[in-house]
Amino acid sequence: MAEGDANADLRNEYGFTDKQIAEFREAFAMFDRDGDGTVSTKELKDVFSNLGVELSDEEISDLVTQVDLDASGTMTLVEFCILMAKTGLVPDDPEAELRAVFNAFDEDKSNHISMKELQAIMLKLGEKLADDEVETIFKEAGCTSIDPETGELTMTFGNFKDIMKGTGH
């Protein structure tokens, strides 16, 4: 399905706003870790975990079955949006949204985003950042935490929140 068709379906059939669709599309891109245009049950379990909701494999499978319009066992963007609405996880709390995005970036679940994690996510979003660009971002964000293993700067949730709100130091 073309992107315009998907947006029209989401607006007309499901009543989502363009802003909600854009937010869902961003979340979908982050959780579609292998970039195949679908979210697998494993990736979906990670989505809910990042949102602070722990579900069993059976519960995840049941959720997918409820919205799996094409019976593929995975979710397309449209199916993902329907699921987010059905589960009440349409984000309306900016702090919770930021925490979910931060958790998605924090792949090793260390409560810090490493420079490598940020580079990997940005590359997935289509933006290749050089090491010096990432270091500049971290310094402008006021990051002072150092990863003991790599010696690199790491970003806390507070730093991340400041960047996202445009108030980095």
Domains of the chain: 3-86 (1.10.238.10), 94-164 (1.10.238.10)
d(CA 160, CA 137): 10
Provide the b/e sequence for 69-100 (b: ≥16 CB within 10 Å): eeeeebbbbbbbbbbbbeeebebeeeeebbbb
| Separation CA 28–CA 24 (nearest Å) | 6
- State residue 91's pLDDT score: 54
Q: Which amino acid is at 160?
A: F
pLDDT in tens, 37-48: 898 888 878 777
pLDDT of residue 133: 92
Work out whether strand 113-114 and strand 145-146 pair parallel, antiparallel, or are unpaired. Answer: unpaired
For the chain, which residues score pLDDT lower than 50?
Answer: 1
Predicted confidence at residue 155, as pLDDT, reads 92
Amino acid 154: pLDDT: 92
Q: What is the pTM of this model?
A: 0.48
